[in-house]
Amino acid sequence: MRIIRKRCLGLDIHKKQITAHLRVHRGSELEPIALETVFGTVPRELERMREWIREHEVSDVVVEATSVYWMHLYELLEGVATVAVVNAAHVKKVPGRKTDVGDAQWLAELHAHGLLRVSFIPPRPVRELRALTRYRTKLVAERTAIKNRTIKLLEMAGVKLSSVVSNVFGRTGRAILDGLSQGQAIDPVRVARGSLREKIPQLSEVLRRQPSPSLRELLQMHLRAYDALDSQIAETEARIFERAKPWQTLIDQIDAIPGINPLAAITLLAETGFDMSVYRNERHLTSLSGLAPGNAISADRRRAVGVRKGNRHLKRICIQIAWAATKKKDSFQRARFLRLQRRIGRNKAIVAVARQILVLVFHMLSTNRPYRDLGATFYDERSREHAVERYTKRLAALGFVVQLQKRQAP
């Protein structure tokens, strides 16, 4: 096979050690020269490995994406050689022959022949922004868990607050929680706001029961944890917006899409890397995101399979954007969702809308064009006769006699 990289180093990374295998091709030699050694993972050993790489004039380094161990190594070697990060599932060896040296050798051999699919690693500023957006996602999940535990605690105390108040941590709900945690008598007339003023009798009945002292202590701890997480989320969001200022034009561009707010735009672009030129086409991007349908064809028969595995963070934000987009009336995304929902179901329809939004973002950033909504009547206008026939049959099935008359133009 043709040799593409003549000085290729494979690294098998573990928590405490790194096994290196250097494969050197000189001239027309069929058998390459191989060097093997082991390094530690402490800073002194990593510096020694970097100097070893420079000494042997290594041009290409390949590592598996093992946990988070590869990240610091990637930054350490980024300016020394061309570092390729690959998916471990793509380089599995024959069962029963697995060793650290064998894994490093196999990596170097495959990469030397150009047989590995290299993962896209964005530049350092994007990686730092991505770390913040993912950290915010974790904080929001923890805050939601605190909310659920608080509601569960109230149920244990016999306080059915969630049966009356839709948002227990809203303005009225939080005032009630603070009062319950202090053992105070709560006047529903004084604390109720907005539409809850119509539910004052139900609130009065719910608040007749007070939590026990032990449950009040737990409630106080829950509220303190919630406030601490709320403060961390606000601080994290401020840092996210500060670091995203260099890409403000791109953020404003896709913010025009229904369902996307500035924070969602930053999160989506941080996961894609802001630069669409690294993707071959929109199918490449949707495949990496895990929103593209899988292929399973054998003997001219296609099996029904789910979506592919991919970047779960990008997939999550696309699904969230899709749900928000379907809530906007008179929009193309809502019309497409309702059209697909009747045929393939709710869950598959929302994945299709999420994929369409990601394709839309790809083309907007690739061509630098603004967003233009096709409108809720796009499908009806495209096939007007079929729409008229469909609605006429529907009314006839409901027992109406339909007579169509075309409206005169004003």
User: What is the percent of the chain with per-residue pLDDT over 70, rounded to a whole number?
Assistant: 97
Q: What is the pTM of this model?
A: 0.87
Q: Is the pLDDT of residue 25 over 60?
A: yes
The tally of domains found in the chain comes to 3
**Nearest CA-CA partner of 232 in 143, 127, 130, 129:** 143
Phi and psi angles of residue 36, each rounded to the nearest 5 degrees, phi first: -130, 140
**Residue 37: CATH number of its domain:** 3.30.420.140
Q: Residue 326's closest CA among 318, 336, 317?
A: 336
Query: Domain of 63?
Result: 7-112
Whether the predicted pLDDT of 30 surpasses 60: no
Write the pLDDT tens digit of every residue in 143-170.
999 999 999 999 999 999 999 998 999 9
Strands 82-86 and 60-64: parallel
Average pLDDT in the chain: 90
Q: Is residue 81 part of a domain?
A: yes
User: What is the C-alpha to C-alpha distance for residues 129 and 276, in angstroms, rounded to an integer?
Assistant: 17
Last residue of a domain, one of 189, 208, 243: 243
Residue 347 lies in a domain: yes
Can you give the CATH number for the domain in which 164 is found? Answer: 1.10.287
Please give the torsion angle defined by the CA atoms of residues 85, 88, 93 and 98, in that order, rounded to the nearest 10 degrees.
100
**Could you tell me which residues are beta bridge partners of residue 317?**
none
Average pLDDT over residues 10-16: 93
Q: 147 and 60 in one domain?
A: no
Q: What are phi and psi of 13, to 5 degrees?
A: -100, 135
197 and 104 in one domain? no
409 assigned to some structural domain: no
Residue 85 and residue 154 in one domain: no
- Give the number of other CB atoms < 10 A from CB of residue 128: 13
Judgement on whether residues 200 and 213 belong to the same structural domain of the protein: yes
State whether 271 and 228 are in the same domain.
no
Q: Is 288 in the same domain as 338?
A: yes
**Is 141 contained in some domain?**
yes
C-alpha pair distances (Å), 139 with each of 133, 144, 145, 268: 10, 9, 10, 17
Q: What is the mean pLDDT of residues 108-118?
A: 91
Kindly state whether residue 201 falls inside one of the protein's structural domains: yes
Note whether residue 118 is domain-resident: no
Average pLDDT on 62-91 reads: 90
Is the pLDDT confidence value at 94 over 70? no
pLDDT score recorded for residue 31: 66
pLDDT at 410: 63
pLDDT at 90 (0 to 100):
81
Average pLDDT over residues 316-338: 94
Question: Last residue of some domain: 61, 90, 112?
Answer: 112
Entry field: residues in the chain: 410
Which is nearest to 266 in space by CA: 119, 121, 122, 132?
Answer: 132
Position 108 scores a pLDDT of 92
pLDDT at res. 390: 83
Q: Give yes or no for residue 29 having a pLDDT over 70.
A: no
The per-residue pLDDT for range 336-380, each reduced to its tens digit, is: 999 999 999 999 999 999 999 999 999 999 999 999 999 888 887
* 239 shares its domain with 254: no
User: Is 1 inside any structural domain?
Assistant: no
**Pairwise pLDDT comparison (67 vs 132), residue with the higher score:** 132
Considering the domain boundaries, does residue 376 fall inside one?
A: no
The pLDDT score that the predictor gives to residue 1 is 74
**What pLDDT, on a 0 to 100 scale, did the predictor assign at position 43?**
93
Quote the pLDDT of residue 209.
87
Query: Residues 231, 259: one domain?
Result: no
Of 217, 243, 269, the residue that ends a domain is 243
Q: Are residues 339 and 283 part of one domain? A: yes
Is residue 134 pLDDT above 90, yes or no? yes
Please list, in sequence order, all residues whose beta carbon lies within 8 angstroms of the beta carbon of residue 398, skipping any fewer than 6 positions away: none
pLDDT confidence tier of residue 384, bands split at 50, 70 and 90: confident
Over residues 19-46, the mean pLDDT reads 85
262 with 350, same domain: the answer is yes
Residue 270 has pLDDT above 80, yes or no: yes
Q: Quick one: 219 and 134 in the same domain?
A: yes
Is residue 216 domain-shared with residue 270, that is, in the same domain? no
Q: Assign 52 a pLDDT band (cuts: 50, 70, 90).
A: very high
